[in-house]
């Protein structure tokens, strides 16, 4: 781009002076002495090589060039001021967020403290559903949903694409195990996917046979079962993070894979509401921070 702008403080001084048609009043607005404004304007005129003000018997008046210049500067400064005010106001409003139950519990809620701290006046309503139906059905502004890898969620911003690793309670797996040994333990399976088959393939082991001890259930329940020490679970490392840190789970292997990713869906036209925009921005920042710091 390589713009070369005149001194910005001088521009601001000129803008105020032009608006007031008076150096003194401009100085007043800017909270400086009239001499400061006078210097700024003179400096600007020298630099631009054009006269911006004309002397009046008493006071000053803009030249035509000054008028033109001012006409461009004032809206620009206005816009900058307006954008800057964005940060002053304490945001308020309501946001309704619908997240998948496991993701809500283990990913979203642990981070919400930061949001509450930053924006205590925003009222957050949390719902937990997994169905991939229209958000509007749940009357939610935003929805956090899982998508299998593929091109069909291109438009929805990414929240988490952390890979799946095997996790288990330390009571069940006190120390790291080889993949073969791991596959002999009770395997907690998702109700609808066979993630263990894929994992076994990755490790080069034979795909595990179904056993009486292998339970199939919803992700949320499978996770609780793993915490209770009933078996080994394939879970997103971002989701397991908290329980690993607390010593309630251990990662049983370095081998993992990406089955899909969590994305953020927005209800129609809802981003016009500032509280929703705020939460959305915060969420994406959280996600981006997470992905840039780890990995």
Partner DNA sequence: AGGGCTTGTGCAAAAAAGGCACGCTTTGAT
Partner DNA sequence: ATCAAAGCGTGCCTTTTTTGCACAAGCCCT
| Element (DSSP H or E) covering residue 53 | strand 53-55
82 within 8 A of 75, measured Cβ to Cβ: no
Q: How far is the CB of 36 from a second copy (least distance, A)?
A: 15
Axis crossing angle, helix 34-48 with helix 8-20, rounded to the nearest 10 = 110
Using rule CB under 8 A, residue 92 touches a second copy: no
| Beta-strand runs (E) in 66-202 | 93-99, 122-128, 142-148, 158-160, 164-168, 187-190
| CA 247/CA 252 separation, integer angstroms | 13
Does 181 interact with a second copy (rule: CB under 8 A)? Answer: no
Q: Which does 35 bind (CB under 5 to 8 A by kind): a second copy, DNA, none?
A: DNA
Residue 286 CB, nearest approach to a second copy (Å): 10
212 binds a second copy (CB under 8 A): no
Rounded Cα gap, residues 143 and 32, in angstroms: 51
CB of 183 to a second copy, least distance (A): 34
The entry of a second copy, DNA, none that residue 290 binds, CB within 5 to 8 Å by partner kind: none
Cβ burial 202-232 (10 Å sphere, 16+ → b, else e): eeeeeebeeeeebbeeebbebbbbbbeebbb
Select the span of 109-117, 202-210, 224-232, 279-287 touching a second copy (CB under 8 A).
279-287
Pairing of strands 215-217, 93-99: unpaired
Shortest Å, Cβ 149 to a second copy: 24
Q: Is position 120 an interface residue for a second copy (rule: CB under 8 A)?
A: no
Q: From residue 29 to residue 68, what is the string marking binding to a second copy with x (rule CB under 8 A)?
A: x------------------xxxx--xxxx---x-xxx--x
Question: Rule CB under 8 A: which residues touch a second copy?
Answer: 1-6, 8-9, 11-12, 16, 19, 29, 48-51, 54-57, 61, 63-65, 68-69, 72-73, 75-84, 86-87, 280-282, 284-285, 288-289, 292-293
């Amino acid at each position: 781009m390589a713009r070369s702008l005149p001194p910005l403080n001088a521009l601001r001084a000129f803008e105020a002076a032009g608006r007031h048609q008076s150096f003194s009043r401009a100085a007043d607005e800017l909270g400086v002495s009239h001499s400061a404004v006078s210097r700024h304007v003179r400096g600007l005129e020298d630099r631009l090589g054009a006269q911006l003000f004309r002397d009046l018997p008493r006071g000053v008046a803009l030249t035509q060039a000054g008028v033109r210049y001012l006409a461009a500067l004032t809206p620009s400064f206005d816009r900058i001021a307006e954008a800057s005010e964005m940060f002053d106001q304490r945001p308020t409003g309501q946001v309704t967020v619908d997240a998948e139950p496991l993701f809500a519990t283990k990913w979203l809620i642990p981070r919400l403290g930061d949001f509450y701290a930053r924006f205590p006046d925003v009222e957050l309503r949390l719902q937990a559903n997994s169905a991939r139906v229209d958000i509007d059905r749940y009357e939610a502004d935003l929805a956090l949903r899982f998508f299998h890898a593929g091109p069909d969620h291109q438009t929805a911003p990414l929240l988490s694409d952390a890979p799946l690793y095997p996790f288990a309670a330390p009571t069940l797996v006190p120390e790291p195990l080889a993949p073969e040994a791991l596959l002999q333990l009770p395997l907690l399976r998702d109700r609808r996917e066979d993630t263990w088959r894929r994992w076994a393939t990755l490790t080069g082991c034979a795909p595990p046979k179904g056993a009486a001890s292998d339970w199939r259930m919803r992700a949320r329940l499978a996770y609780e079962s793993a915490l209770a020490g009933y078996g080994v679970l394939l879970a997103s490392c971002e989701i397991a993070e908290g329980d690993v840190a607390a010593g309630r789970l251990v990662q049983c292997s370095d081998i993992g894979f990406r089955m899909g990713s969590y994305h953020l869906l927005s209800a129609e036209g809802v981003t016009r509401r500032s509280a929703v925009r705020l939460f959305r921005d915060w969420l994406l920042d959280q996600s981006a921070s997470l992905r840039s710091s780890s990995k």
